[in-house]
Amino acid sequence: MSNLSPAIQTKLEELCRTILSQPELEAYRLKVDQFMVNDAARAQYVRVSEQGEHLHHKQMQGVELSDSEVSAFEKEREALLNNPVARDFLDAQEAMHEVQESVNKFVRKTLELGRMPEATDLEGGCGQGCGCHGGGH
């Protein structure tokens, strides 16, 4: 971050402190912490992640997945989603990711537009050049 001016650095730190002080963010961090100390939930998560990556890799190589492979993965994934600690972790991760994406989008739009974005500037989510926003990109 050395290329940021001291004024931007100060405001960035202020923004981060404000984000961290939000009660819902503290609740998300607590859910992540509870997951991190739960060895069984973490192991279950790793198994599902590795199995999903393996199946994805096979598909990318053009290998046809068997019904039993897909069924086994779906069963493991369902068990993971039914584990309350893992489910809370996944929900918390998604919520924190959404906060990060919202902040990134606002900053990106500010730099792109050269002004503070309005609500209409931030609407839509299909991406630049997709043709659904009337060509303002």
Domain 6-104, architecture per CATH = Up-down Bundle (1.20)
HEC per residue, the chain: CCCCCHHHHHHHHHHHHHHHCCHHHHHHHHHHHHHHCCHHHHHHHHHHHHHHHHHHHHHHCCCCCCHHHHHHHHHHHHHHHHCHHHHHHHHHHHHHHHHHHHHHHHHHHHHHHCCCCCHHHHCCCCCCCCCCCCCCC
Q: Specify the pLDDT at position 38.
A: 97
Q: Specify the pLDDT at position 17.
A: 94
What is the reported pTM?
0.74
For residue 88, the tally of other CB atoms under 10 A from its CB is 18
Q: Specify the pLDDT at position 3.
A: 85
> pLDDT per position in the chain (137 positions), as tens?
468 899 999 999 999 999 999 999 999 999 999 999 999 999 999 999 999 999 999 999 999 999 999 999 999 999 999 999 999 999 999 999 999 999 999 999 999 999 999 989 888 654 444 444 444 43
Q: Specify the pLDDT at position 132.
A: 43
Q: Give dist(CA 27, CA 21) in Å, integer.
A: 11
Tell me if 35 sits within 8 A of 85, measured CB to CB. Answer: yes
Token pair belonging to 74: 């779906």
